[in-house]
Chain A
Amino acid sequence: MIKKIIVVEDKTEELEKACDLVMAKGFMPLACATNEDAVDTIKKYQDKGLVGILTDLHFPVREGGSPEGASGLHIVYKALMADISVVICSDIDHHKADWANDLIGAVEKATGKKVAGFVQDSKNWERALGLLLNETRED
């Protein structure tokens, strides 16, 4: 069975950049541009070689929607509930990220599991993937 990593990002250029890195590491990237796609993909592959999830913080809930809410937090919750490693990769300014850190903390407390990483200030997918794979190896 091919090992897979879900990549959630609504900007095509960023999505393809992240997927290229995932493929270069020998994984099959499962690209998602919306919350709906990501949740469906988690359900479909959680017992079929899914290694982890790289997710943006802000992306649309539905196709054609706007990325106004922090849909990534929903993906984090779904991932932790399914016991799947997840790393958030966002260009959020770390000086203005307290609300996100607080909410992630709340999700971690509610699920009893930890997020594998939260990359801030720039969409550094390489770093995010590194955090995800280190987390996976530690398991």
Chain B
Amino acid sequence: MDKKNLKVLVVGEFDVINAAVKSAVDLYSVQCDVMSIEDAEEMIFEGDYTHIIVALERDDDREKGMLFYNLLKIRLPAWQKSAKLFKAGILNVAADDYIRVPTNIMDDIATKIILA
């Protein structure tokens, strides 16, 4: 698919992860929106996203992201949407639908600069 036709939505509850994923997508000059889980469904239903990345967050929020990812697996075909669905997280998972987010830089900035 031509890059100009790509439209990515990043969905997640943790702003830092969302921003990190969006920054990475932006590097490729691909259109990218960011949305919280709470507001994402109407955007997806009415939108024309080609790819959706659901951020699985750390600790407690991870479950929320996973539940939403599982719901989208059911709802995307029900809405006749063909967007490819991905999970993104900080674990070292090698799967076609998993995007690994390196968090070392964020951890170091947080602990060594911001919280120091």
Contacts and interface: CB of A to CB of B under 8 A. Distances in A.
**Interaction A to B:** yes
Most buried by A among B46, B77, B79, B80: B79
A29 B78 contact: yes
B78 A28 contact: no
A23 B75 CA distance: 12
A100 to B, nearest CB: 25
B74 A32 contact: yes
Interface string A12-27: 1001100110010000
Interface string B78-103: 11100000000000000000000000
Which secondary structure dominates chain B's binding surface?
A: helix
Contact of A16 (B38, B71, B77): B77
Interface string B26-70: 000000000000100110011000000000000000000001001
Interface residues on B, range: 10 to 19
Contact of B79 (A12, A29, A40, A44): A29
Contact of A31 (B38, B42, B67, B74): B74
Contacts of B45: 2, 28
A83 interface: no
B108 to A, nearest CB: 36
A103 to B, nearest CB: 27
A37 interface: yes
A73 interface: no
Interface of A: 2, 7, 12, 15-16, 19-20, 23, 28-33, 37, 40, 44, 63
